[in-house]
Amino acid sequence: MGRTARRTEASECRQCLTYCDRVIAPATCIAAKCPSLYRYTEPISGIRYMGCAHKVFATDIDIELFEEAERSKGYGALKLAREPLACCDFTIEKAHERPPGEEWVCRNRRFADFPDTADGAFGAFDLRQGLSGP
């Protein structure tokens, strides 16, 4: 399999010391019956895999290991490899909690919003755009 290049601007924010990542739990894709979720069986080994046709998460997942993990503590989340689709139920994962201090103050509050560059996105309305000076 070829490597999938990750678009870091779509999946991570490093503007402050908190270090936030957009992540998605494949279990939410299954629960939502996402039409982009595919499954296949590797012909030589017989191992079944699943993945995202749009490569929102870049890896193919061994279905047997996924189901085993879901029965215990849950499989967990994967970092987004590109902008999410409108149907993707992504969340924000923080590497560090914010202790007091200016360097930990969030500088990108819109990071938790659906990205403007994603398919189906619309640009935010900003009253400052198009205003002429006095």
Give 92-117 pLDDT, tens digit per residue.
Answer: 998 877 667 777 778 887 887 776 66
Task: Give the residue carrying structure tokens 């629960």.
Answer: 31
Give 38-47 pLDDT, tens digit per residue.
Answer: 999 999 999 9
Computed over every residue of the chain, the mean pLDDT equals 82
Whether residue 30 is predicted with pLDDT greater than 90 in this model: the reply is: yes
Task: Give the residue carrying structure tokens 């509050």.
Answer: 109
Whose CA is closest to 11, among 121, 123, 124, 112?
A: 112
What span, in angstroms and rounded, lies between the C-alpha atoms of 132 and 125? 16
Total-model pTM = 0.74
